Amino acid sequence: MNKYFFYIVTLISILCFVSCQRDDDEPIKAARPISRLYVSTSNYQANTTSPALYNVFVVTPADSNSFAIDPLSNHTSSALGGSAIHFSPYAQSIFQSSVNSPAYRDTSIYVMNVSDKGVISNGNVIGNRRFNNVKGLWYYVHNTPGNTTNITNNYLLVTNLGADTVNLFIVDQPKSRRGFTPPRYELRLNYRPWSIQMNGDDLLLSRTEDNGGIVVYKNLPAALKVDTLLDIEPTYQLTVSGANNIRGLSYSSSKDILALTDYKVNSGAPEPNVGDGRILIFENFSQYTSSGTIVPTRVITGANTLLQQPLDVALDTREGEDDALFIYVADAGPVSRNVLRFKLSDTGNVEPDEVLEILNRQTPQSISLDSRGANRL
C-alpha cells in the first residue's frame, strides 16, 4: 500500500512541476554551445512538377573556419518566397514572412518549430491581408514583475510597409494563432521602418529613406493597454546624416554596439554597384538618449568588401577575443548575392572574413543568429 501511495505522490509532484513552468519565460538550456545562422531566401519555384526550392538555410557552426551551409538542415517553409526571418530561443521557433511578389500573393507569416538539436519543422501559419510587405519580425516576451503565474505575455512584432499605411503590428500569443489573425495592437507610423529589435522593454526600429536612422520607443509594455490602436510617439529619433537606404539593424547590449546596413544607388543606375553597400557601426550606443544626429564610429565599405545591397545584419558578440567576434550580413545585390562575415573589429575597405554563396545562387533577404556560448573551432 505504501508503494502505491509513493507512486501517486510522485506523479502528482511531476504534474505540479510541469504546470508551474513558465510559458516562454526562458530559452531551453543548450547542452552544447550553439552558433547557428538562419538565412531566408526569396526564390520560389511555382512549377509544381519541379522540386520545391529551399527557402531556409542554416550555417552551423556559424563562427567556425568552415563557414558553410549544413546540407542536412536546409528547409522549405510554405512561404511563396522568403523575406524577413527571426529565430527566438524563447519560442523555440523560426518566424518567416513572404516577399509577397505580384506573381505569387502570400500575406502570411510562417512559424517553424526548432528542436534543441536544430531540426526544423513546419508549424502554424498566421494570415492577414494586411501583412502584405513585412520587413521586420521580432518575438518579445514580457513578464510582469511580481508575476507568480505560469503565464507570460508574448508577442510577435511586425513592421509592414503597406501601400496605404505603414504599421507596426503586434500579434499576441503567436505560437497559438492559426489562420486569419488580426493584430492585438497596431501603431501607424509616419516614417518607413525596416528592421526591428527589442532591447529589454525598449523598441528599436531602423528608419529608411534619405538621412534615415534609428527610432526608439522606451518601455513599450506601458503602451500595451486596452485599445488596439496605439497612440504613442517615439521617445527619440537618431538621424544618420548621408544615409540612403538603411535596412538591417542589430544591437548588442553586452558590448553596447549597434550596427546598421546602408547602400546607395548612383544617379541613373538601375542598381547599386559592388562597394556601394555599407555597414555602419556605432560604439557606446547607449550614450544617445535624446533626438539628434549620430556619426558612425566605423564604416565598412568599398569594393573589397563585396557589399552591394546589404539588407540585414546580425552581431555575434559573445565572450571571447575581440578580433574573433563577427558581423554577419545578408547581401541581396544581383552581383554579390551572398552572406558575408566580417570581424567585429573591421573598418574601411576590407575583405570579408568569409563569403557564403547560397545554393543555386539564391538571393538572401534576411538572417537571424542564434548564438549561445563560445564555439570556436
Q: Which three cell numbers stand for residue 148?
A: 507568480
Residue 222 lies in a domain: yes
Residue 120: give its domain's CATH number.
2.120.10.30
State the amino acid at position 39 in one-letter form. Answer: V
Q: How does pLDDT run across 86-139, given as a tens digit for each residue?
A: 999 999 999 999 999 888 899 999 999 999 888 999 999 999 999 999 999 999
Residue 343 lies in a domain: yes
Residue 151 lies in a domain: no
Domain count, the chain: 1
Q: CA–CA separation, 34 vs 314, rounded Å?
A: 15
Domain encompassing residue 88: 35-144+158-372
Indicate the SS3 state at residue 10. Answer: helix
Q: Which residues contact 140 (CB under 8 A, 6 or more apart)?
A: 154, 155, 156, 157, 198, 220
Residue 21 lies in a domain: no
Residue 270 lies in a domain: yes
Q: How does pLDDT run across 171-208, given as a tens digit for each residue?
A: 999 999 999 999 999 999 999 999 999 999 999 999 99
Residue 7 lies in a domain: no
Q: CA–CA separation, 306 vs 52, rounded Å?
A: 29
Arithmetic mean of pLDDT over the chain: 88
Percent pLDDT > 90 in the chain is 73
Query: What's the whole-number mean pLDDT along residues 217-233?
Result: 94
Q: Among 98-102, 142-146, 327-331, 347-351, which stretch is predicted with the lowest mean pLDDT?
A: 142-146
Q: CA–CA separation, 274 vs 263, rounded Å?
A: 10
Residue 220 lies in a domain: yes
Q: Is the pLDDT assigned to residue 27 strictly greater than 80?
A: no
Query: What's the whole-number mean pLDDT along residues 58-64?
Result: 92
> Measuring CA to CA, how many Å separate 81 from each of 41, 122, 150, 206, 333?
7, 15, 37, 23, 17
Neighbours of 77 (CB within 10 A): 23
Q: Which three cell numbers stand for residue 377?
A: 573551432
Residue 221 lies in a domain: yes
